[in-house]
């Protein structure tokens, strides 16, 4: 079983969180403010089991005000799922997130055209392929959460992409890239994040690095 981390990317309100929920059954918007405003503010987390692959998913905010949180979610990912809505097309935060993926040298990208029931997915896909230029071999899947279109195809593409990725090396130097720190009553401080470079076991001592 291979283990990989995927992060979403894309413009606000293009359906990243809805797509993650449709794939995993997990609503990654957990904060009351996120529920009230209908947008993702902080990083959300989900998990998807695919044939031979265990995929951790980081759902990032798309709003320009929360770009720091978006970048924080990309710290140790293996691939990205760039979401573009068929009714809006390539928007400012789509472009910004795409540039960030390129700057961080994240080359494994799958693109999902969402809300295909609300726009012209053929035209949107053509414009997306024109925009990504030399990376034209990036898989693009047309989806609609509401119409339940393309979800199984997207899972299949993710499975195929992950199958080509090398497994994470165990160099016996585990590092946890911290995503969240919070307090649980009766337990204390809880830290979550992305583990790389090895494994951690219960009872091991760890060091906090700046």
What pLDDT is stored for residue 172 in this prediction?
A: 76
The catalytic residue among 8, 11, 13, 14 is 13
Residue 63 bears catalytic tag? yes
Residue 16 bears catalytic tag? yes
Residue 187 bears catalytic tag? no
Give the residue-averaged pLDDT of 156-180.
Answer: 83
What pLDDT is stored for residue 119 in this prediction?
A: 95
- In the chain, residues under CATH classification 3.40.50.300 are 2-164
Give the residue-averaged pLDDT of 38-57.
Answer: 85
- Ranges of beta strands (E only) in the chain are 2-10, 44-50, 53-59, 79-85, 109-114, 140-142, 175-184, 188-196
The catalytic residue among 8, 11, 14, 16 is 16
* CATH class belonging to 2-164: alpha beta
Residue 173 bears catalytic tag? no
The catalytic residue among 8, 17, 28, 114 is 17
Model confidence pTM above 0.85: no
**Sequence-distant (≥ 6) Cβ neighbours of residue 134 within 8 angstroms:** none
Predicted confidence (pLDDT) per residue in 127-159, tens digit = 999 998 866 689 999 999 999 999 999 999 999
What pLDDT is stored for residue 149 in this prediction?
A: 96
Predicted confidence (pLDDT) per residue in 83-95, tens digit = 999 999 999 999 9
pLDDT higher than 90, residue 190: no
């Amino acid at each position: 079983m291979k283990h990989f981390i995927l992060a979403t990317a894309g413009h606000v309100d293009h359906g990243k969180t809805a797509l993650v929920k449709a794939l995993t059954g997990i609503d990654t918007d957990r904060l009351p403010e996120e529920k009230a405003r209908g947008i993702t503010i902080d990083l959300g987390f989900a998990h998807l089991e695919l044939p031979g692959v265990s995929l951790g998913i980081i759902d990032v905010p798309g709003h320009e005000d929360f770009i720091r949180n978006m970048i924080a979610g990309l710290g140790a990912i293996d691939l990205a799922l760039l979401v573009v809505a068929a009714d809006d097309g390539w928007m400012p935060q789509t472009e910004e997130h795409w540039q960030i993926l390129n700057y961080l040298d994240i080359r494994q990208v799958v693109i999902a055209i969402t809300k295909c029931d609300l726009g012209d997915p053929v035209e949107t896909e053509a414009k997306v392929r024109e925009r990504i230029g030399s990376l034209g071999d990036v898989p693009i899947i047309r989806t609609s959460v509401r119409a339940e279109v393309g979800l199984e195809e997207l899972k299949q593409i993710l499975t195929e992409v992950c199958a080509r990725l090398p497994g994470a090396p165990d160099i016996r130097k585990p590092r946890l890239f911290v995503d969240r720190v919070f307090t649980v009553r009766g337990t204390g401080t809880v830290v979550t994040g992305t583990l790389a470079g090895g494994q951690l076991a219960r009872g091991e001592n760890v060091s906090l690095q700046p």
